[in-house]
A and B are shown apart, each in its own frame.
Chain A
Amino acid sequence: MNNKMNMSRRNFFKASAVAVVASTLATSPLMSGVGLAQGGNQTLDILNYALTLEHLEARAYRDVIASGLLSGMALDFFRTFGEHEAAHVTALTQTIQQLGGTPVAAQANYNWPTFANQSEVLTFFHTVEELGAAAYLGQAPRLIDNDGLLTAAVSIHNVEAQHAAVLADLIGADPSPDFGTPKTMEEVLVVVTPLLNANVPSGMPQTGRGGFLGGGAGGPSVFH
């Protein structure tokens, strides 16, 4: 394989995809102010919710790649998947800014579990990617009135599901159900709040903070 070529191809995809999302948004009714009155805040809440998850994912990939726990094909995949999440962060950040909102920032630190080996890493990321796909699927119908945002959300959702499928293959799990299952914001935040190590953005359900603040040996069983 030619790494240089792969890299430039990836960068091309990343740049062009961001441009596609941006140009899609430029033609959406929201950009001309139409529709903001009936759902602007909800739309921004959804986008910042997605951005919160993408920041978490992008940082998770970055941190685990730096840990040196991964090697071989898994490491290659993690580098690529991490770039995808970073591209999602960029696209969502720009979109929120174009809509006049304030993009939520990445946190300084996240509460990652302790990983002993590659297998534990793969299992954790499989869970996170499944959660990401379910989170986008849960929000997509709420974007029904905005063609551009809906298309972008479906597109990102597909990529999260593809990451989950590949990670499932690597750990010997089922890569694909017959139908994807959505999760609500509340369901997702219960799982991610312990990882966030801080407040969730305003406008998002606060469910789950209690579990984190309560501390102890608990935490969502999905990570154990």
Chain B
Amino acid sequence: MDMQSKLMELLDFGQSRSRRNTVAPAGSIAARDNVALGRAFAQTMSDLDILNFALTLEHLEAEMYRQMLATNILTGKELTYFRDFGAAEAAHVTAITQTIQQLGGTPVAAKAMYNFPAFGDRGAILNFAATVEEVGVGAYQGAAPAITNANILAAAGSIVQVEARHAAIVRLLQGQPPVPAAFTPSLTVQEVLTKVTPILGS
């Protein structure tokens, strides 16, 4: 079963489980709180599930930068940054793959193809990179509370920080406010899947 199917299955399980187990007094904050529900779902994922979820995103990002660089559209400082960012994503792929193997798990492979939009000009490249990096930040941040191993949590933290930096710098290159808020938002696994499934394809 590939990661996407597994996550979808977990998602169904997680939602029924969270409804059963987080029964809160009617009207309480927890009962109405989607964030709490999302967290409850993420808690049904093991650390290995989360690592493979992260690896799925890192594969996507690494390949995205590779294809963006292959267009030879970017120049100067932007080219330097995108080379660095692509190398960072590749380093994340390597690190997470090794971690999964050390834990006795099976790392998900990169997809043979991704449904990226056409990287036809600088604007399209920056726009898509900004979107994907933001998803990366929200995904790691949303999954962090579900991680049970402190070392894996520390590693996830050191990676989410880098995704956040990438997002800020790409926005800066776009002429957008690079740090638009005092807190970065979390995404639930379901929200991340909604955003990345069209890119991951079938």
Contact = CB atoms under 8 A, between A and B. Distances in A.
A219 to B, nearest CB: 27
B29 A23 contact: yes
Contacts of B70: none
Nearest to B181: A13
A165 interface: yes
A164 B95 CA distance: 24
B76 to A, nearest CB: 13
A53 B12 CA distance: 42
Contact of A144 (B153, B165, B167, B177): B153
Given A158-B137, A158-B160, A176-B85, A166 B172 contact: yes
Nearest to B154: A141
Interface in B66-96: 81, 84-85, 87-88, 91-92, 95
A157 interface: yes
B113 interface: no
A95 B181 CA distance: 19
Contacts of A164: 165
B150 A180 contact: no
Contacts of B168: 161-162, 165-166, 175
Interface residues of A, number: 52
A180 to B, nearest CB: 4
A151 B180 CA distance: 18
A140 to B, nearest CB: 5
Given A23-B29, A151-B144, A178-B91, A158 B158 contact: no
Contacts of B145: 147-148, 150-151
A83 B148 CA distance: 33
Interface residues of B, number: 49
A175 B169 contact: yes
Nearest to A174: B84
Interface in A119-177: 133, 137, 140-142, 144, 147-148, 150-152, 154-159, 161-166, 169, 174-177
Contacts, number: 157
Looking at A137, A158, A182, the one whose CB has the most chain B CB atoms below 10 A away is A158
A21 interface: yes
A182 B30 contact: no
B160 A154 contact: yes
A80 interface: yes
A154 B141 contact: yes
Interface in B104-154: 137, 140-141, 144-145, 147-148, 150-151, 153-154
A208 to B, nearest CB: 23
Given A140-B154, A151-B141, A175-B169, A17 B179 contact: no
Nearest to A150: B145
A89 B140 CA distance: 24
Contacts of B162: 161, 176-180
B197 interface: no
Given A154-B141, A157-B157, A83 B182 contact: yes
Contacts of A80: 177, 179
Interface of B: 29-30, 33, 35-36, 39, 81, 84-85, 87-88, 91-92, 95, 137, 140-141, 144-145, 147-148, 150-151, 153-155, 157-162, 164-169, 172, 177-186
